[in-house]
Each structure stands twice: as C-alpha cells, then as structure tokens.
Amino acid sequence: MQGNLRTFVLMAVMTALVMGMGWLLGGQGGAILALVLAGATNVWAWWNSDKAILRQQGAVEIRRDQAPELFDMVATLAQRAGLPMPKVYILQTEQPNAFATGRDPQNAAVAVTQGIMRLLSRDELAGVIAHELAHIRHRDTLTMTVTATLAGAIAMLGNMMMFSSMMGGRDDNRGGGLGALVAMIFAPLAAGLVQMAISRTREYEADRTGAEISGQPLALASALARIAQTSQRIVNEPAERNPAAASMYIINPLHALRMDRLFATHPPTEERIARLQAMARQG
C-alpha cells in the first residue's frame, strides 16, 4: 500500500512538471494537452513500463536449462524472502550490474549482466540478487520503473522544447525563448532530483534487507565494492542510451561516461559498504 501511494505521489509530481512545460510551450491549451498526454503516459507506465525498461536495456529472458546455477540461486533466495519466483533476465553487457523491475511481486523480474556473473563469487552474486529481491519485497520496483519511464518522457519533452525554441517556436509561447530554456533545463533536472531522493533512501533499505535474506552482509559489501570499481571502466551502452533507467541498477551504470555527482542516483558506495560492515559486526 505504501509503495502504491509513493508511486501515485510521484506520478502527480511528474504530471505537474509536464503540465508546467506544456503551459510554457503553449499556454492554457498546451497545459491541457500536456495533462492528457501525461495521463495516458501514467496509465501506460503503470502496466507496461517494466517490459519497456527490459527491452530498452537489452535484457533477454532465460530458462533454467540455459543457466541452472543462476536460476536455482534466484529460486532459493526468492523462497527465503517469501516471494514468488521472478522471471530471470540476462543483460548483454560486460559491465557488472543488476536491477529488478515489475509492478508487484507476482509480476517481477530480476536482471543481471553477463559481466557480473563473470566477476563475482557465488556468495557475492547471491548478495546482489538478494538486494534486488528486497526491492521486489518492498515494492520499490513499481516506483523505480515508473519513475524511469516518466523521467525519460520528461527529458524527451525538454528536448522537443529546445528544438521548438531553436526553430523559432510560436510567438504566444509563455516566456518566449526564455520560458523554453527554463523548461528545457529545470524540468528534466527536477525529474532527476525526484529520482535521486527516492533512490538513495531505498538503496540503504534494500542493502539491509538483502543482507538479511542472503545472511551475508559482508559478501554484499564486497560485491558493491567490486562492481563500483569495475563498472567505471566498462561502458553499459543500453544504459547510456536510456539514462533515465540508471536509478534502477544496484550501482549507477553511467559512471563510465558521466562522472558529475550532481546527477548521481545512488548514495555513496562507501557509505553503503560501511553500513553493511556495521550490520555484520552487530551479528
């Protein structure tokens, strides 16, 4: 219930952003059109955003006979977490990373990259999968997936406004070229800040719950350190093409090309590791 309320509030905030951009672009008529488009996008995102994200990130669903060790690990951890068995996907990138998606535990998926399967030990990989299952159990995945979809739509609208301004636009646009410039810069930034605020809180909680599910907080801490170190050297091309989905990954996949911490959607990895180490000391 709490997850659905949080998603509803998020949708309302982003709908308001889209309406504001529509007003700047076309006055009252633009705001009304933006509201209609935002409403349609919200409905579509609620039911289909998980499939869109998986497709955008190049995820391929696997069966047990294709990767039995991974499949059985997910099944065991899901049972331990009290969750239905999620679908399992492989991401065709060598950057070590993972994410979960789905509107509820009955329609969830866990996706891991080829790189993470090669890099991590069995216990470390179990910690990562348990972290993603924690997101599913907390129902973060709906918020994460819808946010990624709507933030991408807002960024696209900002680009459209920039193009409209460059082409001269209409004379009755609110604020003229300045209004388009403000919308172009601040609406995508505001959407990103909403993502950041949600992401940082939920990552700490997913780390804690994931460590409880796997029973090995130090293995998850080690996995975070290795992923963070290696991911900065390897480009995740699908994530770079669709940066709005960066908040869904266990470690920011954009570090390879985008080092500006202003747009970081995750808390500092060092702080996450310290919390897990403290958890291990407390038994």
Q: DSSP for 30-84? A: HHHHHHHHHHHHHHHHHHHHHHHHHHHTTEEE--TTTSHHHHHHHHHHHHHHT-P
Question: Is residue 168 helix, strand or coil?
Answer: coil
Cα 132 to Cα 111: distance, rounded to the nearest angstrom: 9
Q: Whose structure tokens read 């709908």? A: 15
Task: Check whether 131 is labelled as a binding-site residue.
Answer: yes
> Known binder of ligand: residue 203?
yes
DSSP code for 249: B
Q: Measure the CA angle with vertex 82, ends 228 and 86; round to 5°.
A: 60
Q: What is the H or E stretch that residue 98 is in?
A: strand 98-102
Structure token pair of residue 273: 């590791």
Question: How far is Cα 250 from Cα 224, in angstroms, rounded to an integer?
Answer: 8
Distance of CA 154 to the CA centre of its chain: 15
**Is 237 marked as binding a ligand?**
no
132, 212, 240, 271: the catalytic one is 132
| Pairing of the two strands 59-61 and 98-102 | unpaired
What CA–CA distances, in Å, run from 50 to 103, 111, 116, 168, 172? 7, 11, 21, 37, 38
Is there a catalytic annotation at residue 69?
no
Residues designated as active site: 132
Binding-site residues, in ranges, read 131, 135, 203
List residues forming the annotated binding site for Zn(2+): 131, 135, 203
